Structure 1
């Protein structure tokens, strides 16, 4: 009955004599409590985030750098930066792109778990398909060739697909998932399907703060990953980086061979190849859909199928020529299997379609222009295009399939 007053007396005396010890003890207790709550372990399964992800995925302990890459000076110039189509509502982040990478390669996004985005966009081929038309989830074929995704970030008008029917990349990434030939899924079924997968619980929480899967979050993450696919480490880039300042397209670059420099000059000179008129800047990418004279009469309406305008018939998106040596077959229908065939089309095979781009017409006429390139010039252009191959890009682990 008398021990409580004694303990109280002892504690009061101890506190008065050693107040700092009591304060330090209290701080240690508080710190221990805080440390215990800061856990990456699922309290229900007692499994850490790392363990959950490691069961299915090969991901680094720290996310790869997608958001803060150091681009060369020729990527920093105004014409290139002005073409950046990243919306303010969806900047590229490391965690968002990591989630996007997993979604991109996940066959669970198709109705029967057989097709992923990465099935038709192969990293080794600069994220296009070596087949003329891609296989869908039930074996059907796509209506057009799979387009390379490299440097999609810099397509100025921000529209996607060959016919530019997607107003933004965020819109585009959801369309193949729902296409009844490509992946055959509905967004209503996709959300709970992904929600049930443990690794998405971790990835969505890490990226967005909670485990909720939504179509908007799927869209944003996929778009971030694709915008992070910037190719900038080719032989051509190394040659430009070796210059002391801006270069004239007609000037020789020290890092290129005589033939490659000739090809660059023919490519850039409006009086010779004039390719740079449509494939502009050092990204060699278009700004809008164009009719390049593949057919005299329309076989695929292209942009006109979206706008309904006859003046848009046969117009298609102009992709980047970065890694073009890897992306055969060529054109929206994959009709050309070699770069030699592509060059010869522009040299002598352009058809006089009513919507033909003016740069491909003979001056003062509606007839197709003949370039009359020599055999040496055509070979040189191809040699130059080969300098745009970026082996670092096509082998970079951060763009590779993360599934075990």
Structure 2
């Protein structure tokens, strides 16, 4: 099957701010009816706007090729996609923590990849502050891809395929680490998830409405969850303790700030696609949403820096009856973006024997 990627003549358009960037003639493109980068109308303006890294069809294709190619890992055994699986919202369904070369297991759960252009900091502890360098953590970690940039660049320079792809994308055969990271960003930066049932209801699309359980769950969500998981991104991008342990074995945000008050604090993850992106929490300790909700209801520890939102007068947590947990789960499932999870533009073209032109 051949899927045509159509190139718009207009500049890259960010609907939220109605801003166009001059000189980026071929920067917005789509496959069928799916726009790869156009700010959803119910989203704020993005943080990353591809200035300095003009988004092009060939740049996107190169980034996708690199994302799915095990050539980036030390022993050529795993690719970025091994830990970031599209059907799991580019998280990792089959391991609670990252699983790298030589069957090495990391210490933290693989984060989902979507709506990255709206983030200023990355990783569970916020240790990376720019989307273009965020792949470095996985590429160089001994327990993930265990490689280094000089070796990767050397491999790419010896590949006729990549010489041609870099020429098409950046008009140069001088492959370097900066262009490698920019290409990966042209792929990961366009992983936009904004077409869940929730979005269609918010946009008042024809026929889109919550059923009674979903509506009740949405009311509960706004009352009990939205302070941290702020709409429409469903995260406020802050770092908080949600009472997983009295004293966390993982220092979390303290690793970056070296402040004991930040010990065991982790970034609030987006709840978009949460139905499919388990296991949950920074260490993948919970297998399903029922366990997550029961943790908030009755399983929360009380570390000294437990977030104040979880400190009511009686016991730490968020009191949720079984009926309320059922209703909340129904609402959370409306955040699953099935179009994003199956979009052929984001798939491995070789695995699916498809060609993008």
Q: Give the shorter-chain TM-score range.
A: 0.7 to 0.9
Deviation string, structure 1 residues 71-109 (Cα, Å, up to 9, x no partner): 54312xxxx22x534463235433222211111111000
Whether 1:166 aligns to 2:128 is yes
Which residue number corresponds to residue 322 of structure 2? 375
Identify the structure with the greater strand proportion: 2
Which residue number corresponds to residue 65 of structure 1? 30
Report the 3-state secondary structure (helix = DSSP H, G, I; strand = E; otherwise coil) of the residue aligned with 1:65. Answer: strand
Q: After superposition, where does 1:179-190 map in structure 2 within 5 Å?
A: 179-190=141-152
Which residue number corresponds to residue 42 of structure 2? 74
Q: TM-score, normalised by structure 1?
A: 0.75
Which residue number corresponds to residue 158 of structure 2? 196
Distance 1:241 1:313, change over 3 A: same
Question: In the aligned structure 2, how far is the partner of 1:358 from the partner of 1:87?
Answer: 37
Report the Cα offset of residue 338 of structure 1.
0.8
Q: Which moved more, 1:142-151 or 1:376-385?
A: 142-151
Question: In the aligned structure 1, how far is the partner of 2:217 from the partner of 2:205?
Answer: 18
Deviation string, structure 1 residues 92-132 (Cα, Å, up to 9, x no partner): 43322221111111100011111100010000110010111
Question: In the aligned structure 2, how far is the partner of 1:298 from the partner of 1:177?
Answer: 27
Q: TM-score, normalised by structure 2?
A: 0.85
Whether 1:148 aligns to 2:148 is no
Whether 1:225 aligns to 2:225 is no
5+ long unaligned stretches in structure 2: 8-28, 352-357
Report the Cα offset of residue 65 of structure 1.
2.8
Deviation string, structure 1 residues 294-341 (Cα, Å, up to 9, x no partner): 111122100101211101111111121111000111001000001011
Distance 1:289 1:189, change over 3 A: same
5+ long unaligned stretches in structure 1: 1-57, 245-252
CA contact (8 A) 2:116 2:188 kept: yes
Q: After superposition, where does 1:29-48 map in structure 2 within 5 Å?
A: none
C-alpha RMSD over aligned residues: 2.2
Which residue number corresponds to residue 114 of structure 1? 77
Which residue number corresponds to residue 395 of structure 1? 342
CA contact (8 A) 1:71 1:232 kept: no
Q: After superposition, where does 1:3-402 map in structure 2 within 5 Å?
A: 65=30, 69-75=37-43, 80-81=44-45, 84-86=47-49, 88-130=51-93, 131-155=95-119, 158-242=120-204, 255-269=209-223, 274-362=224-312, 369-402=316-349
Report the 3-state secondary structure (helix = DSSP H, G, I; strand = E; otherwise coil) of the residue aligned with 2:240. Answer: coil
Report the Cα offset of residue 206 of structure 1.
1.3
Report the 3-state secondary structure (helix = DSSP H, G, I; strand = E; otherwise coil) of the residue aligned with 2:335. Answer: coil
- Count of aligned positions: 325
CA contact (8 A) 1:105 1:403 kept: no
Runs (4+) off by over 6 Å:
none
Question: In the aligned structure 2, how far is the partner of 1:285 from the partner of 1:61?
Answer: 31
CA contact (8 A) 1:135 1:182 kept: yes
Deviation string, structure 1 residues 131-156 (Cα, Å, up to 9, x no partner): 1123211111121111101222222x
CA contact (8 A) 2:197 2:208 kept: no
Question: In the aligned structure 1, how far is the partner of 2:152 from the partner of 2:317?
Answer: 51
Identify the structure with the greater helix proportion: 1
